[in-house]
Amino acid sequence: MRESPHNWLQSFLVYRQPRVIAMLFLGFSAGLPLLLVFGTLSAWLRVEGVDKTTIGFVSWVALAYGFKFLWSPLVDRMPLPLLTSTLGKRRSWMLLAQAGIIFGLLNMAGSDPLSQLQSLVLFAVLTAFASATQDIAIDAWRIEALGEEYQGAMAGAYQLGYRLGMIVAGGGAFSLAYFYSWPLAYSFMAAFMLLGMVTVFLIPEPDHELNAQQLETERKVIDVLVATSNKSPSIILRLQQWFAAAVVSPFAEFFSRHGMFAVVILSFIMVFRISDITLGVMANPFYIDMGYNELEIGLVTKTVGPLVTIAGALIGGVLVMHYGKMRMLMTGAVLVVLTNLLFAWLATQNAELIWLILVVGADNLAAGIATTTFVAYLSALTNKAYTATQYALFSSIMLLLAKFLAGFSGMIVDASSYLVFFTYAAALGLPSIALIVVLMRHERLGLVERNRPSN
């Protein structure tokens, strides 16, 4: 579909939409847990004396976000006793996931990183699993609540809330840890998740019914998969039918819509965020090893930085409305590579606070623009009949390879230097730029083909 640009006033006023405003609070609930099992956790471990290689491996906890497509069909189709009949499909899963996050964070707070590292990691896995489940439900609500035209603004509001959550989980947690302790910081983070629970009770449940064409597609998939199972026990047959409709149909629909070019799209999704995710694992250990203290790190990288990201996210939402997704995808990808190279330069400098502010500010501005555009792009790829499952597939593919490679970040730093590592991280962003060129060319050819007069 061709993207028609809006004037600047229309592009800015979209943020007054009530459901766009609601995304601010859901984004906060989604953004809070991530750092607590990733960047903030790595800083806590480093302060306690855990070695960098171990910190790198612990970052694999965040792989839960990369595997969420495995249970997304349950979130898409399975009702929860009592909750679903009261709140609806999307909100009931959000509430259950938020309860899991609070439980996990409180138990992380009660685990010592040195004597109880295994326990701490297990509760971090639980927190990440519940957080990934919350993401599935929130992403589905975001895409279903408003049409494609508003997804840039929905993504911008989501990123605004997400980054505010990261400010609390980053700068807030660092400040509490500096003045009090890390366990107290994690306990306070659990309390902040109550904001997400309140939001669930205030937002409406969106429509997500299958239309006739989608029901026909599911019927065909079910017929193919259970054709040889007519003699199976009825419970087995029902499970096969559910699997065909809930798991196979969303993926079959995506590939039928895009053909073999779907492989190119999925490849692009896989590599787009490798660069910044890889860099992110070693960012906090880098700041500590450079000589910055916890208060400086918290105020600059977890407070000032996310504020700049918020500005980038909101600007990104407006630019997507005005210029369209593809041009802004390219802009964001190039900015991420260039700003990651700034970290390589910072590794050669003395630990001056002004350089940290400038580098982190530039990096976060680029991240805000790139992430908002990317979320809008992924949202437009989904079919609303299978929102949770398809978006979970996309976001899982986005994270899976990136999180896996990021786990080796500590080994690369130990074997070389921060200068080499940050240069390597920036280079990981080049394949995404090449694939955006391919996507843009494919889109132009598609427009030419659709506009060609028929004989």
Q: Collapse the DSSP code of 358 into the 3-class scheme (helix H, G, I; strand E, B; otherwise coil) and give the result.
A: helix
* Confidence at residue 211, expressed as pLDDT on a 0 to 100 scale: 57
Distance CA 198, CA 83 (A): 15
Q: 């593919």: which residue's tokens?
A: 397
| Cα Rg, the chain, nearest whole Å | 22
Its pTM stands at: 0.70
Judge whether 329 and 390 are in contact, CB under 8 Å.
Answer: no
Q: How many residues does the chain have?
A: 455
Per-residue pLDDT of the chain (455 residues; tens, 9 = 90+): 445 555 555 555 666 677 778 888 999 999 999 889 987 888 888 888 888 788 878 888 877 887 887 888 888 878 899 999 899 989 999 999 999 999 999 999 999 888 888 899 999 999 999 999 999 999 888 888 876 667 777 877 888 888 789 888 987 898 899 899 999 999 999 999 999 999 999 998 887 665 555 556 556 555 555 555 555 556 666 666 666 666 677 777 888 888 889 899 999 999 998 988 888 888 888 888 888 887 788 788 767 887 888 888 778 777 877 777 888 889 889 999 999 899 999 999 888 889 999 999 999 899 888 888 888 888 888 877 777 788 888 877 887 788 788 878 888 888 889 999 999 999 999 999 999 999 999 888 765 555 555 55
H-only helix segments in 272-386: 274-290, 294-299, 305-323, 325-346, 353-381
* Confidence at residue 437, expressed as pLDDT on a 0 to 100 scale: 93
Judge whether 129 and 1 are in contact, CB under 8 Å.
Answer: no
Distance CA 199, CA 91 (A): 9
* Confidence at residue 2, expressed as pLDDT on a 0 to 100 scale: 46
* Confidence at residue 245, expressed as pLDDT on a 0 to 100 scale: 65
Q: What's the number of CA atoms in the CB half-sphere (13 Å) around residue 196? A: 35
The token duo for 355 is 């350089």
437: number of Cβ within 10 Å: 10
Query: Domain spanning 8-204+216-451: which superfamily?
Result: MFS general substrate transporter like domains (1.20.1250.20)
Distance CA 411, CA 216 (A): 51
> Domain map of the chain by residue range?
8-204+216-451
* Confidence at residue 94, expressed as pLDDT on a 0 to 100 scale: 96
